[in-house]
Amino acid sequence: MKRLTIFIAVIFILQLFVSNNLFSQPSRNFRNFKQTAKINKTATVKSTPTTSGVTYKTTNGTSNALPSRPSNFEDVAVWRLQVKITTDGRSDANTDDKAYVQIGNSTQNRFYLDKGGDDRERNRTDVYDLVNVGVTKIRDIRFLKIAKQGTDGWCIKKVEILVNNVPTPIYQKTYSSCQWIDGNDGHPSSITIASHQLRQYSQWKYTSQNQGSIWFPPLGTLPRDMFENIVESLFGHLRHVQNDLKGVYWGKKYGSRWVEASYKAGPNPTIHFDLDLAKDVNNFFDPEVDVDFDLVFSCANGKITLELQNPTVKGYYWGKIKIFTANLDDYQLGNFNTPFCPSIKVNGDGSVRVGL
């Protein structure tokens, strides 16, 4: 098979996907790529947790507190939204067809499910980050539809919805046998879980597992694989909806993943990304396409952003390659502002520490 402000910081990654043109390249050297502005250093912030919120101190000595936990679970701000799907183990349960989900207010807003390699294989659980699907608060999750195109049947064993890096899903459904979606053989081409069904689930509320964390901004150490998964999920979606990505697909994997993030030294906190892709070329071999870029964190007026810098594309054939021409300002995780700038540090292992 063949794009964090804090209330913020994961938005970063999709204000990555949210801050500049991710790759507008009519040729191999990104000559038309929009240059990013000089990035200001972030303020260092100290804070101490309290029962009513979080008290923090800015560099000029003032202090305040972040908002407390919303009284209504539906008002929790969503800065990361994932769907987790497990494919059944029977011999024909896997599918190579295009698949997508819809989850927000708009029934027109499809997010295609596409990770590097063969996802949706037998006995496999795939986790997709959903970007710009119309969800900024939990109340915006109006339904969950899982659908596919084509007649290569897919048998789903389990579906889960995860919010804000909390490992316990707010919704989960396990099918006693498995749920087929197909398009022929009498099977439906989609399944839809309605709003009332989602909200009847026992974990769709504050629980002992999530009440201290699900409503909280993305603070502390944000793991490297979070950023890798967001970038991978977003590219997988974009390649099915952007004309300029036609024929671009996941290529040969070099390293542990098709999307790899790593620490990069510099005056500002930076993550370096490497994507292993390929290009379908008619009547010729499919060349490898290696995409590299830096994501640089900055903060101003209490808003963390990511700026894409130093993009390079190496395509091993003589034609023109257009990739990532979409303006990623169109892809957002939400609006997460705070009245201060936190400290931001990229650790040696590629994780990001957002301080208070």
> pLDDT tens for residues 75-132?
998 888 999 999 999 999 999 999 999 998 665 689 999 999 889 999 999 999 998 8
The answer to whether residue 58 scores a pLDDT higher than 60 is no
Average pLDDT over residues 42-46: 32
Classify burial at 53, counting beta carbons within 10 Å of its beta carbon; exposed 0-12, middle 13-18, buried 19 or more. Answer: middle
The answer to whether residue 27 scores a pLDDT higher than 50 is no
Mean pLDDT of the chain: 76
**How many whole angstroms separate alpha carbon 113 and alpha carbon 123?**
17
Share of the chain above pLDDT 70, in %: 71
Give me the pLDDT at residue 40, please. 30
Instruction: Give a three-class secondary structure readout of 282-310.
Output: CCCCCCEEEEEEEEEEEEECCEEEEEEEE
CB 238 within 8 A of CB 245: yes
**How many whole angstroms separate alpha carbon 104 and alpha carbon 112?**
14
Give me the pLDDT at residue 120, please. 92
288-313 pLDDT, tens digit each = 888 888 888 877 766 677 777 888 88
Average pLDDT over residues 261-267: 93
What domains are defined for the chain?
Answer: 9-66+217-354 (no CATH), 74-199 (2.60.60.20)
- For the chain, the C-alpha Rg in angstroms (whole number) is 21
Average pLDDT over residues 238-265: 89
Give me the pLDDT at residue 290, please. 87
Share of the chain above pLDDT 90, in %: 41
pTM of the model: 0.79
Average pLDDT over residues 246-260: 90
Neighbours of 41 (CB within 10 A): 12
pLDDT band at 18 (very low <50, low <70, confident <90, very high): very low
Name the packing angle between helices 224-241 and 9-16 (round to 10°). 40
Q: Which of 71-85, 116-130, 226-240, 316-330 shows the lowest mean pLDDT across its residues?
A: 316-330
Q: Which of 9-23, 70-84, 263-277 shows the lowest mean pLDDT across its residues?
A: 9-23
